Amino acid sequence: MRILLKLVIDCDADAAWRAVHSPRAVAELYGPLMQLSPLDPAGLPTAWESGTDAPVQLSVAGLLPVGRQLIHVSERTVQDANGPVRIFRDSGIPLTGPLASLDVWDHQMAISAAPGDPTKTLWRDRLTIGGPTALALWPMLWATWQWRGARIAAMAPTWAHDPEPDPAPVAG
């Protein structure tokens, strides 16, 4: 079963790509509703890199544990008719909690410049799930992905790397 999002967001593709590599930005996507905490005493990396494995605890508002998840990161770049598409993939798996009944968890985010406007990003998000409870869990995950899409759109302008220059001072 799949859940898909397709958004044009208000930041350039490089800023969006940096954001998907930031554990802090990813955690902020779900906040304050859900919190993501590292299980490794060393904490989360500053940036996700291909090959990273990171066990995390998910909780509602930091109070009610809902399960542990292993995040496993990989990435690749492909070409489409509009140019390069960078794909960030989490192929980890839920370890405990209700989602642990899934035996397939494949989350991919495709980042590219928006067609016709390189100052914006075309963000394509695909979650593929499978297992005996996938059908029962799909509505909750679909609703979570709608929330996620709204948060991505709201947060994207804050992902800009270069601040706007201050206007030139007025000579007086």
pTM, 2 dp: 0.86
Are the CB atoms for 113 and 83 separated by under 8 Å? yes
Model confidence at 170, in pLDDT bands (50, 70, 90)?
Answer: low
CATH number of the domain at 2-159, out of 3.40.50.10490, 3.40.50.970, 3.40.50.1820, 3.30.530.20?
3.30.530.20
* Per-domain residue ranges of the chain: 2-159
Residues ≥6 apart with Cβ < 8 Å to 167: none
pLDDT per residue as tens digits for the range 9-64:
999 999 999 999 998 888 888 777 788 889 999 888 889 899 989 999 988 877 88
21 and 15 in contact (C-beta within 8 Å)? no
Tokens 């919190």 correspond to what residue? 35
